[in-house]
Amino acid sequence: MQKGKGRTSRVRRRKLCRTSESRGVNESYKSEFIELRKWLKDRKFQDSNLVPARFPGTGRGLMSQTSLQEGQMIISLPESCLLTTDTVIQSYLGAYIAKWKPPPSPLLALCTFLVSEKHAGDRSLWKPYLEILPKAYTCPVCLEPEVVNLLPISLKAKAEEQRAHVQEFFASSRDFFSSLQPLFAEAVDSIFSYSALLWAWCTVNTRAVYLRPRQWECLSAEPDTCALAPYLDLLNHSPHVQVKAAFNEETHCYEIRTTSRWRKHEEVFICYGPHDNHRLFLEYGFVSGHNPHACVYVSREILVKYLPSTDKQMDKKISILKDHGYIENLTFGWDGPSWRLLTALKLLSLEAEKFTCWRKVLLGEVISDTNEKTSLDIAQKICCYFIEETTAMLQKVSRTKDEKEALINQLTLVESLWTEELKILRTSAKTLHSLQIALT
């Protein structure tokens, strides 16, 4: 047998490939991480489990220095390291917040502190943390309008809502920023600009951990549950892991325990929640490959696209679906069309003489073989339509990448979203074909 051609050699090559793909490049030697570790140590944080590293596919994250067992504490961050509204109120901003009416929101307090400390530069006590924060974000609110136009329709609408929300947040905060002028030699308008507030808003929105609600009299009644957690927030998301994360009132530390096992030199992940890719993109600015929660949404317009326009009961059927909550969250997923989508199509496909059976449809009962077949046929048509539309969008994104090199990173992110949706739709089409064959 020729050397390197046997089964043992193939297994060894597969192991080597898997290891090289998952192993990161240690970045703890970099000056910004050395300074951060010193800063954290001064605040009583000690950690020997994790080190910052750069990984293929996920970028910067945390790598295990030793093997980690199920149930093991992977990080315990002292309260003194957390940036909360307590931090802000007890700072130089506290007196200005206390006298401002109506009271600022907890979010505004955190964002104001971040912008102010970033402006302070070397004078900021939080500089080591600020230095490792992203300089820019990829949430839809940060994307160029021509890139947002390439998003799926439902996500595009939410992205536009997000942009309007942040713009209103900025506009309503400008008077408060003006009250801070005595703290700065420069004009506050140049410090608390829209871009500066957008950066701070994204920092809190994408990186904050949850704490039990607190209440300061000088802040508005909006939930005060956010904390920025230096170092801990380097942990990336994976939908395939589970962790237990919470603030421990006894130890006064924010603690994370893993329910998975990790080998030495692997990237350690946490799970931000069972979010689909639209939610991950909207809230965090990334797309998760092979996300089991990923799906393709079917709008009302597409839902009725292949139904007969002559159906005189269509308006009544749509009304029933609305009343019973079956007009939204209709999806294709990795398992095919969702039960909700098929149920909606079965009701919409009811023949006139069977219309009185609509309650049985919502309860999951089979009305007839004809109804089952018709609903599957329509689901397949919708799926094929989406495949054509998604393929066309991918081609459009590809052309735009060639024309707009400055937007390559934003466009690549959008491209990855459409690519995942195309995979889901092709899988759904196969599932539907199998279901159709089973009925013949």
pLDDT digits (tens, 9 = 90+) for 274-300: 999 999 999 999 999 999 999 999 999
pLDDT digits (tens, 9 = 90+) for 111-141: 999 999 999 999 999 999 999 999 999 999 9
Contact 150, 400 (CB under 8 A): yes
Q: What is the mean pLDDT of residues 33-59?
A: 92
Q: What is the mean pLDDT of residues 374-390?
A: 98
Confidence of residue 17 (pLDDT cuts 50, 70, 90): very low
Element (H, E) at 245: strand 243-248
Task: Please give the structure tokens belonging to residue 176.
Answer: 């408060």
DSSP 8-state secondary structure symbol assigned to residue 123: G
Confidence of residue 11 (pLDDT cuts 50, 70, 90): very low
In terms of phi and psi (left: phi > 0; alpha: psi -120 to 50; beta: otherwise), the region of 104 is beta
Q: Which residues pair with 296 in a beta bridge?
A: 332
Contact 384, 429 (CB under 8 A): yes
DSSP 8-state secondary structure symbol assigned to residue 248: E
With residues binned 3-state (H G I as helix, E B as strand, rest as coil), the percentages for the chain, rounded to 5, are 55, 15, 35
Per cent of the chain over pLDDT 90 is: 90
- Say how far apart CA 97 and CA 103 lie, in whole Å: 7
Mean of per-residue pLDDT scores for the chain: 93
**What pTM did the predictor assign?**
0.91
- Say how far apart CA 105 and CA 113 lie, in whole Å: 13
Query: What does the pLDDT read at residue 48?
Result: 78
